[in-house]
Amino acid sequence: MLIVLNHKMNFLKEEALAYAKEMEGLFLKEDQLIICPTYTYLPFFEPIGYSLGAQDVSHYQNGAHTGNVSASQLSSLSVRYAIVGHSERRLFEKETSELIHEKMKELLDHHITPILCVGESLEEKERGETLFRVMQEIEESLQGFTKDELEQIIIAYEPVWAIGTGLVPKEEEIDRVIKRIKEQVFHTWQIEMPVLYGGSVNQNNISSLREIPSLDGFLIGSFSLDPKNVKSILK
Ligand code: PEP
pLDDT at res. 234:
85
Q: For 44, list phi and psi in degrees, rounded to 5.
A: -75, -20
Residues 44-67: pLDDT tens digits? 999 988 999 999 999 999 999 999
pLDDT at res. 235:
77
d(CA 130, CA 4): 23
How buried is 131 (Cβ within 10 angstroms: 0-12 exposed, 13-18 middle, 19+ buried)? middle
The β-bridge relationship of strands 195-198 and 2-6 is: unpaired
Contact 34, 52 (CB under 8 A): yes
Give the closest residue to 42 by CA, choosing from 11, 69, 79. Answer: 79
The H or E element containing residue 184 is helix 171-189
Residues identified as active-site: 86, 158
3-class secondary structure, 171: helix
Ligand 1 centroid to Cα of residue 13, in Å, is 22
Ligand 1 centroid to Cα of residue 198, in Å, is 6
d(CA 28, CA 33): 7
Residue 158 Cβ contacting ligand 1 at under 6 Å: yes
Residues 18-53: pLDDT tens digits? 999 999 987 676 569 999 999 999 999 999 889 999
